[in-house]
Chain A
Amino acid sequence: MFSWLSDLLDRFIDWVHYRTGIKDIVRDQITEYRVPPKLNKWYSLGGLSLFIFGMQLVTGVLLLAYYVPSTESAFASIQRIMLEIPYGWLIRLSHAAGSHMMIIIILLHMVSVIFMGSYKKPREMTWLSGCALILLTLAVCFTGYLLPWSQLSYWATTVATSIPEPIPVIGPFIVKLVRGGDHINPDTLNRFFALHVIVIPAAMLALAGFHLFLVRVLGISGSPPPKTKDEE
């Protein structure tokens, strides 16, 4: 009865295939793609960190709907999200908890890669992009930490931004550059906000795409028990 519908769908897929080669991609990357038959749970941590990253993007965009990035209203807008906006508490707490979870999962992912020796040839570039992703994750957590403009975020950021100070010659300059002044001030909030909501997440998206691309190009690494002799 609906054969015309599946016929229409086939014609649509053919139309797209002619212009993108989508059928070959689906065959190579999904239907005919195989991974080693016995993988432990550690192998899922990379996918899990991607999932948490997606969750942070969604909750982050929802928070943007009510958060006000100014020193006068930031804390009050967070209070409003927590107390007045329906389910605002859920979104805010999820975003905050997600940041901690993401760091835990990424560190576990990294430890498992070290233990399984997966960073070795030919996966050096996957490791390098992973290292960059860890640094960016720490940076995105660090910049997001100041945004509620609470007593904790203000002083923890003051302490952390003073770390480069002992470097000779350029130390004080770095501190001033990061803070946008001698102390944490309204400009610091603005630059941290810009970094937190667009600059770092965009860089992370691109790098995560590259990381995943390499994982697919090189295949999943063999772990101990050593590489299977299953090559065709």
Chain B
Amino acid sequence: MFKRPRFSKGMRFPRFIMEDVLVIFIFMAVFCGVVFFFPHLIVFGDAKIPADPFNTPEHIKPEWYFLASYQFLKIIPSEFGALILMSVAGLLFVFLPFVDRSEENNILKRPIFLTLVLACIVGFIGLTVWGFLS
């Protein structure tokens, strides 16, 4: 079995918890800021009207985290083809540790992989913004 490294000079008990607590506090500051001062970012527009199955709103869009895949489906002419492309991408992503078997941990020494990862991130953000604007 893989033997876990011991890190005898590493961080001790309360310290590594406090590192997480610090990040949680920073997060809570942002979170409370949104909840108290910008509630209209969370509940807006059609979310304030009860559902009406007989009245279709003009611009229907899914939540922002589904917007990239939604936009991808819209721009690929064949819907079924787009679904297949997305499933393949999803499977590649899920099985990443088995696809990428390189021993090198430092991404800066792997320019091709780094480019691919950055392209995926830019693609996701780009499609989301595109879906948001269109």
Whether A35 contacts B7 by the Cβ 8 Å rule is: yes
How long is the Cα–Cα vector from A14 to B57 in the complex, in angstroms? 66
Our pick among B4, B8, B61, B105 for the contact of A156 (Cβ within 8 Å) is: B61
Chain A, range 1-57, C-beta contacts under 8 Å to B: 30-31, 33-37, 39, 41, 43-45, 47-48, 51-52
A-B contact count (CB 8 A): 193
Q: How far is the CA of A158 from the CA of B61 in the complex (A)?
A: 10
Does the CB pair A151–B52 fall under 8 Å? yes
Determine the chain B residues whose CB is within 8 A of the CB of A90 once the complex forms: 35
B29 within 8 A of A: no
Q: Are B107 and A117 interface neighbours, CB within 8 A?
A: yes
How many residues on the B side are at the interface (Cβ–Cβ under 8 A)? 64
Pick from A97, A100, A142, A217: contact of B4, CB below 8 A: A217
A131 interfacial by beta-carbon distance below 8 Å: yes
A interface, CB within 8 angstroms of B: 30-31, 33-37, 39, 41, 43-45, 47-48, 51-52, 71, 75, 89-90, 93-94, 96-98, 100-101, 103, 105, 111, 114-117, 119-124, 127-128, 131, 138, 141-142, 145, 148-156, 158-160, 163-168, 183-184, 217-219, 222-224, 226-228, 230-232
**Residues on B facing A (Cβ under 8 Å):** 2-13, 16, 19-20, 22-24, 27, 31, 34-35, 39, 42-43, 45-53, 55-57, 60-66, 70, 73, 79-80, 83, 93-94, 96-98, 100, 102-108, 117, 121
